[in-house]
Amino acid sequence: MASGAVRPALAYIVVYVKYVPVAADFYAAAFGYTVRRVDDSKKWAELDTGSTTIAFTPLHQRETDALTGEVQLPKSPRERGPVEICFDYPDVDAAYRRAVENGAEPVSAPEQKNWGQKVGYVRDVDGIIVRIGRHVRQ
Q: How far apart are CA 80 and CA 128, in angstroms?
A: 7
Q: Are 11 and 53 in contact (CB under 8 A)?
A: yes
CATH of the domain at 16: 3.10.180.10
Residue 138 included in any domain:
no
Between the alpha carbon of residue 108 and those of residues 32, 78, 104, 132, the distances in Å are 20, 13, 12, 10
Q: Which of 109, 107, 106, 104 is nearest to 125 (CA)?
A: 104
Q: Which of 124, 132, 91 is nearest to 15 (CA)?
A: 124
DSSP class of residue 62 equals T
Mean pLDDT value across residues 120-132: 94
Residue 89 included in any domain:
yes
Q: Tell me the pLDDT tens digit for each residue of 44-96.
A: 999 999 899 999 999 877 666 666 666 777 777 777 777 899 999 999 999 99
Count structural domains, the chain. 1
Q: How far apart are CA 91 and CA 112, in angstroms?
A: 12
pTM of the entire predicted model = 0.86
Range of the domain at 112: 12-133
Q: Which of 122, 119, 128 is nearest to 82 (CA)?
A: 128
Residue 62 included in any domain:
yes
Residue 96 included in any domain:
yes
Q: Tell me the pLDDT tens digit for each residue of 18-56.
A: 999 999 999 999 999 999 999 999 999 999 998 999 999
Residue 4 included in any domain:
no
Q: How far apart are CA 119 and CA 66, in angstroms?
A: 38
